[in-house]
């Protein structure tokens, strides 16, 4: 097998064929998104026949569409993206497919089948598990503050819907929501409003660990040192440290899947078939297993 791979790489080098990848990223302000780009660049560096160009949409749908259309105009071979808006972006990506460009969706999907492969953890499953965990920790009563991610993004809608589906079974639990766009800074603003308006909550379910970090900062600023149930998603190093110290109850591993996306591209170049939809496993991390599982970054 190793001989075949070496032979394949040698042939590609001799042919001097370079495959161009355009990565239309949502934002580089978010720690997780930045790590996703870094992982993609690192993986591409292993293959001399690959080149990658990164574009930062700065959370603007219009920018991301413009970047995708620019990649199409430039004649890239592959487009990697995490769509901000699954409806609008699908139209631009269909243009790429029609031009013969392979579309690799990582973490966020679109509506329709205008893509080559979609690689992601199961967000709705994560949300349901988070809901069961929090409900039990709350003794099935109280108010959960949900810190939501980016408007319209598929993980946001799935992490909200799955959570609500489970919590709706418990009549003594109420959900209040604040949008924070997966950003620590926005979470700080949202939590400042919570305390300013004197809104009470007994637990926090955050669509990302980064937002939960911001929430903890504001709680500390307001001298709110309650040991309430708090659950995030991603399992970054800050979350691991917080769980180990007891200031966060749980997190769910959520790989950036950028490496998986690049590996899919290599398989396509090699002439292999790739699955249309690929689900990546995740794990809930609590104080019971926090020292056994490495953070995603």
Domain count, the chain: 2
Residue 159 shares a structural domain with residue 227: yes
Q: Judge whether 289 lies within some domain.
A: no
Q: Which two three-digit tokens encode residue 163?
A: 């959570």
Range of the domain at 111: 2-120+256-280
CA atoms lying within 13 Å on the CB side of residue 21: 29
Helix, coil or strand: residue 102: strand
Cβ–Cβ < 8 Å for 235, 252: yes
Cβ–Cβ < 8 Å for 135, 164: no
Is this prediction's pTM over 0.85?
Answer: yes
Please give the pLDDT value at position 175: 99
Helix, coil or strand: residue 273: coil
Beta-bridged to residue 80, according to DSSP, are 23, 104
The CATH number linked to 61 is: 3.40.50.2300
Residue 86 shares a structural domain with residue 175: no
Cβ–Cβ < 8 Å for 183, 29: yes
Q: Judge whether 228 lies within some domain.
A: yes
Please give the pLDDT value at position 15: 53
Residue 65 shares a structural domain with residue 153: no
% helix / strand / coil in the chain, to the nearest 5?
A: 45, 20, 35
Please give the pLDDT value at position 14: 44
Q: Judge whether 276 lies within some domain.
A: yes
Closest to 232 measured CA to CA, from 256, 257, 214, 249: 249
Closest to 89 measured CA to CA, from 162, 180, 25: 25
As a whole number of angstroms, the distance between CA 61 and CA 86 comes to 10
Residue 219 shares a structural domain with residue 97: no
Q: Judge whether 287 lies within some domain.
A: no
Residue 127 shares a structural domain with residue 248: yes
Helix, coil or strand: residue 73: helix
As a whole number of angstroms, the distance between CA 235 and CA 187 comes to 17
Q: Quick one: which H or E segment has residue 262?
A: helix 258-269
Residue ranges of the chain with pLDDT lower than 50? 3-4, 7, 11-12, 14
Q: Judge whether 296 lies within some domain.
A: no
Helix, coil or strand: residue 231: strand
> Alpha helix (H) ranges present in 2-85?
2-15, 31-44, 61-74
Please give the pLDDT value at position 8: 52
How long, in residues, is the chain?
297
């Amino acid at each position: 097998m190793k001989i075949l791979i070496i032979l394949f790489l040698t042939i590609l080098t001799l042919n001097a064929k370079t495959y161009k990848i355009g990565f239309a990223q949502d934002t580089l302000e978010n720690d997780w998104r930045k790590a996703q780009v870094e992982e993609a660049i690192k993986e591409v560096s292993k293959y001399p026949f690959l080149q990658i160009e990164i574009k930062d949409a700065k959370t603007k749908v219009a920018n991301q569409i413009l970047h995708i259309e620019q990649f199409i105009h430039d004649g890239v071979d592959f487009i990697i993206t995490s769509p901000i808006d699954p409806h609008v972006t699908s139209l631009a990506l269909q243009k790429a497919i029609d031009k013969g460009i392979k579309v690799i969706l990582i973490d966020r999907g679109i509506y329709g089948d205008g893509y080559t492969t979609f690689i992601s953890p199961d967000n709705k499953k994560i949300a349901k598990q988070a809901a069961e965990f929090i409900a039990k920790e709350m003794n099935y009563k109280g108010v959960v503050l949900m810190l939501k991610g980016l408007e319209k993004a598929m993980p946001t809608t799935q992490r909200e819907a799955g959570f609500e589906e489970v919590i709706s079974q418990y009549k003594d639990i109420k959900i209040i929501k604040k949008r924070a766009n997966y950003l620590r800074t926005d979470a700080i603003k949202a939590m400042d409003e919570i305390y300013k308006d004197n809104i009470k909550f007994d637990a926090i379910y955050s669509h990302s660990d980064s937002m939960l970090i911001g929430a903890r900062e504001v709680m500390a600023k307001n001298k709110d040192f309650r040991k309430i149930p708090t659950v995030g998603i991603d399992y970054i190093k800050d979350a691991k440290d917080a769980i180990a110290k007891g200031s966060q109850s749980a997190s769910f591993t959520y790989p950036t899947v950028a490496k998986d996306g690049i590996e899919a591209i290599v398989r396509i170049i090699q002439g292999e078939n790739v699955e249309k939809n690929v689900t990546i496993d995740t794990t809930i991390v609590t104080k019971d297993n926090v020292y056994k599982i490495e953070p995603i970054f």
